[in-house]
Structure 1
Amino acid sequence: MSMGVSGCTIEGIEKLYPFNPHRMLRGAGRRSISPGPPPLLLLPEGYGVKKEWTMLKLLKQYMNQEMKVFRYQLVYYFFGIVLFSLGAKCFIDAQLGTDPLDVLVIGLNKHLGVGLGVCSSLIAILFLSWWMVWNRALPPMTPFVSTSAVGFLLDFWNALHVEQYTIDAMPVVNVMIYGHELNLYAVLLDVIALLVCSYASSLIIMSGIGIRIMDLVAITMIEKWGWSFFRAKMTLEIGLFSVGWLLGGPMGVTTVLFLFFVGPFIQPFMLMNATYLRIPNHGINQPHGENSTSVMH
């Protein structure tokens, strides 16, 4: 996430808001009327008003605007994190499998017994360490925050027994599908969870703050090996749920659905957010004048 503060030099502001003390109407002591940013008090040289004072006022206005935008970004980010954790909780309660990362988290917790939040943090530290060694640079901290926050929220929802308002409150309607007995309402809860996780992911991406830990490593795989994003992401996700399954994590139909459907649903939700909710996209660079929501994979 970048607020653009590092570029807020006087020279940088001048490029955005040119200050020209000679833009005067000829023969009159009035300000010129020109399009552009909020008008500055343009006075002839020697009038006694310091240019730096005007620039500092403009810098203060710019910083206030940036902080206002950043507050909205935080709202989108944390709301997305909460929604994603609720979707993951519904996956777990439906007992039809869960997303690949949580397969590993749950499997690891079966052996360590320290809680989903702590296990999520340990996995995040492992991936960040891998990224740091691979890139020889300090890793960003937002993937750690995102992964750990979802894990601790899962512990919180478990403590509140949220399942009594979801799967436990639904009737049991079993049907046979390819020789397997499935609860139709569990399948319905699974579909809802898929949509919730997709929408939550769109908010997290558009906030420009967070990125999933696997996406961070996948980007490095693209840069180092020239892989496509899909290939890198699928390799990581398959590795996650394979190790998680060996540790006793709940792999099922949801795991496969998550792999193939959450990603494609994110883009339409981003377009919906931008079009109907007027949410700006801070996470993806867009060409000027375009409302593109395509993820740069």
Structure 2
Amino acid sequence: MPLPRVQAGRLGVYLAGCVTFAAGATLFIHSDYGVDPLDTLALGVLEHLPLTIGIAQASVAAVCIAIWAVWNRRRPVISPFVTFLLCGSLIDLMRLADTSLVPRAGQLALGVLLCAYGSALIIMSGIGIRAMDLVVITMTRRWRWPFWVAKASVEAVLLVVGWLLGGPVGVGTLCFLIFVDGLIQPFMALNQRVFGLDNHGLVVARSESAPVESTTRIGG
């Protein structure tokens, strides 16, 4: 049975976002200037275990989903796990491409734009909210922390652990934290105004941040 047109459209935005983000993350890796906190951790794990980036990122997602589920007494969700596994696996494939013709600084700059725009598409699709953001949303609701403080705290943990494991950290990491996170919201506004895309991610965020008492509990 074919997907409804609206559902298929959202899925297309989601998949485009995953491919775009993975391309940007791959350029970060090839630039050799440092990567985002999640990839720092994933590449650090690869220094010690014979895994792939896709499996490493999926493992991080599984841990985040487990923390969120126990903390909120809700059933684990699948879509964030799929997002991490899909994006990580795409990065594994794209790393095989030769990008040496593009200057390293150019790879970093293009990586920033692609990661930010890909993130905007994934969020706007309302499919596969990032597993880390599930934990961040819970932190903001339970501890009354600003979203950016909670997100920075989670990313700091990933970054430190990844660095201790031997993952790459550099100016590219700083660029990701400042520019990618800073460009996501403007890109979402651009997509709404210029391309007429609906921001389904806002609905998902409100749903995930609803009071625990009004949501489905594990075993009930």
Question: Could you say which TM-score interval applies, normalised by the shorter chain?
Answer: 0.7 to 0.9
- 1:277 aligned residue: 195
- The unaligned stretches of length 5 or more in structure 1 are 1-63, 171-184, 286-295
1:96 partnered with 2:33: yes
Cα distance in 2 between the residues matched to 1:130 and 1:108: 20
CA offset at residue 238 of structure 1? 0.8
- 2:183 aligned residue: 265
CA RMSD of aligned residues (A): 1.6
Letter in 2 for 1:283: G
Cα distance in 2 between the residues matched to 1:249 and 1:86: 19
Which of 239, 248, 263 is the equivalent residue of 2:166? Answer: 248
Cα distance in 1 between the residues matched to 2:78 and 2:9: 20
- 1:50 aligned residue: none
Secondary structure, counterpart of 2:33 in structure 1: coil
- 1:211 aligned residue: 129
Q: Larger helix proportion, structure 1 or 2? A: 2
Q: TM-score, normalised by structure 1?
A: 0.66
Secondary structure, counterpart of 1:111 in structure 2: coil
Dislocated runs of 4+, deviation >3 Å: none
Letter in 2 for 1:238: A
Contact 2:61 2:132 in 1 (8 A): no
Cα distance in 2 between the residues matched to 1:269 and 1:207: 13
Secondary structure, counterpart of 1:112 in structure 2: coil
> For structure 1, which segment, 239-248 or 131-140, has the greater mean C-alpha deviation from structure 2 after superposition?
131-140
Cα distance in 2 between the residues matched to 1:262 and 1:247: 24
Identity value in percent: 42
Cα distance in 1 between the residues matched to 2:59 and 2:185: 30
User: Highest Rg: 1 or 2?
Assistant: 1
- 1:75 aligned residue: 12
Cα distance in 2 between the residues matched to 1:154 and 1:276: 29
CA offset at residue 216 of structure 1? 0.9
Q: How does 1:79-158 map to 2 (within 5 A)?
A: 79-158=16-95
Which is bigger in relative contact order (C-alpha 8 A, separation at least 6)?
Answer: 2
Number of equivalences: 203
Which of 101, 107, 114 is the equivalent residue of 1:169? Answer: 101
Cα distance in 2 between the residues matched to 1:137 and 1:123: 19
CA offset at residue 273 of structure 1? 1.0
